[in-house]
Amino acid sequence: MMKTRFLFFGLIISLSFFSCQKDDVTSEPNLIIKFKFDPNQVRLNNLGQPATIPSGNAAQTPIFNTISAHYFELAPNTFTQLGQGTVLYHAPETMAGGSSAIDFDQSKIVAQDEVFLSIPLSQVTQGSYEWVRVSLSYQNFDVSIRNAGTDYTGTFASFVGFNTYINTHNIGTNTFPVNANRAQGYWAFGLNGFPFATSGQAPAGATTVPNPIAATSPIPQGSCVVTGKFANNLVIKGNETKDVVVTLSLSINNSIEWTEVNADGKYEPSIGENMVDMGLRGLIPSHDK
């Protein structure tokens, strides 16, 4: 009986010790990056100013599915040059297409509110950050298409990065073998529920990339580094004990723009209405700290 009691108390002590050990284990807090697609956010031009739709063009607000980014940076102020802030992410690149390009096969693609990046806060340089710069690379969204008086829904894959190497990509059951680099503005389209697919290239320099601090901190031509300002600076002190979530709200307000042949506000590629711009129309970052 005495031996049994010692075994019982020994078991209780062991369990108590294990429980204490488990409670003492804490995970390191992270900086978490998520995307949001806002159809009502102000529509901006390349200089970060409110933009109207040019005469002769029309636009619509798409239904966004997913997005990917190539680069993420926190900038302390309006004079911080691109690359001189705290760079927290740079997606894999490849030379498979003959020149440096984003490797689409290794791109992380997420929907709204999914975690795009999770970085230990210990790896984020301490400081006060006023701006976010994010280089967008891929968008997938649904749009309304008109053909012979009937409206359909189709899905676009839009590659807005500076240069992207693509093996084969898919839209639903439609397969697009590329096996080459594609410059900013390459797109592919599949008509939902019908055996129709096509692809094309928007004109060079036509993709809108809002940068409100272009006068003091410009971005390279052909890049898609969208710049946005925190309402309140993101301050990293190094003593954080919980995750900090940064939400990148992107304006999709009439972000799909085409040339009109029939001035009815309906996108009709079959009569020669060509897509000219698929750029996001602004970035408003926020944080929960």
* Positions in the chain short of pLDDT 70: 1-26
Is the residue at 13 inside a domain? no
User: What pLDDT score does 289 carry?
Assistant: 84
The answer to whether residue 134 is domain-embedded is yes
Model pLDDT, residue 28 = 92
CB 266 within 8 A of CB 53: no
Using alpha carbons only, give the angle 120, 121, 124 rounded to the nearest 5 degrees.
105
Q: Is 124 among the domain residues?
A: yes
User: What's residue 26's pLDDT?
Assistant: 57
pLDDT, position 203: 87
Burial of 240 (0-12, 13-18, 19+ CB in 10 A): middle
Is residue 93 situated within a structural domain?
A: yes
Residue 1 located in a structural domain: no
The residue segments making up the domain with residue 67 are: 27-287
Residue 72 belongs to some domain of the structure: yes
Residue 12 within any structural domain of the chain: no
The region that residue 127 occupies, defined by phi over 0 for left and psi between -120 and 50 for alpha, beta otherwise, is left
pLDDT of residue 195: 85
pLDDT at 21: 45
The confidence score (pLDDT) of residue 3 equals 42
Segment 109-126, tens digit of pLDDT: 999 999 999 999 999 999
Q: How many domains does the chain have?
A: 1
Asked if the structure places residue 14 within a domain, the reply is no
By residue count, the chain amounts to: 289
